[in-house]
Amino acid sequence: MRVETATSKSTLVLFTMLLIAFLQLLTSCGSLPSQETSIYQNDMTDFTNKIIEIGDNINHIDANSDTAVSELLSYYDELDTTFFSLTEMDIPDEYADAEILAERASKYMTQAVLYYHTAFEAEPLDEMALETANTYYERAITYVNYIGEVLLGSHVTFEDASSAPASE
């Protein structure tokens, strides 16, 4: 059984590169950030590093191993927990738009992980559940990218975020 998803590598790499660039830009600005902003930036850096770590772990699963599916699902569970951590961060007022985006990113990742479990625990692989999981996964990544835009100073309106494409 193949354990790799279509979005697990390319989307995750693009996402992490963008978020790291956003965080570097934030920390290189001329004025010193407030303590609350510094804590949030550190939390987002930790989030990014954790996502990179999980992505690396997923990419190193031996697809021929008897434990490949359980390993993959375990990493997806960890990814869900990591995305949920976005909703628990204290978001400074200057990034207030990030709050609803974090909630949606977490919600979509939770849905993705539920469908990944359904897809990979089925015999044979449930292709429809896998497709649905990938769609939710891409939506979660889209919302985290919106958070990156907010961190760069853009204002993302409710309409912008709710009309995000399901997949590209």
Number of domains within the chain = 1
Phi-psi region of 29 (alpha: psi -120 to 50; beta: other; left: phi over 0): beta
Which residue did the predictor score with more confidence, 19 or 42?
42
Which residue did the predictor score with more confidence, 148 or 157?
148
pLDDT averaged over the chain? 83
> Which has the minimum average pLDDT: 1-15, 69-83, 130-144?
1-15
Residues in Cβ contact with 136 at an 8 Å cutoff, skipping those fewer than 6 apart = 108, 109, 111, 112, 115
Evaluate whether 154 touches 115 at the Cβ level (below 8 Å).
no
Residue 31 lies inside a defined structural domain of this protein? yes
| pLDDT tens, position by position, 45-73 | 899 999 999 999 999 999 999 999 999 99
Query: What's the predicted TM-score (pTM) here?
Result: 0.78
Which residue from 145, 117, 152, 149 is spatially nearest to 133, judged by alpha carbons?
117
Residue 4 lies inside a defined structural domain of this protein? no
Share of the chain above pLDDT 70, in %: 74
| pLDDT tens, position by position, 124-143 | 999 999 999 999 999 999 99
- What does the block give as tokens for 29? 């600005």
What pLDDT score does 167 carry?
42
Residue 2 lies inside a defined structural domain of this protein? no
Residue 140 lies inside a defined structural domain of this protein? yes
CATH number, residue 79? 1.20.1420
Distances (CA, A) of 14 to 5, 18, 50: 15, 6, 15
- What does the block give as tokens for 31? 């004025």
Which residue did the predictor score with more confidence, 24 or 156?
156
Residue 110 lies inside a defined structural domain of this protein? yes
What pLDDT score does 98 carry?
92
Residue 47 lies inside a defined structural domain of this protein? yes
Q: What is the mean pLDDT of residues 70-84?
A: 97
Residue 113 lies inside a defined structural domain of this protein? yes
Evaluate whether 41 touches 26 at the Cβ level (below 8 Å).
yes
- Domain residues for the domain of 30 are 10-162
Residue 167 lies inside a defined structural domain of this protein? no
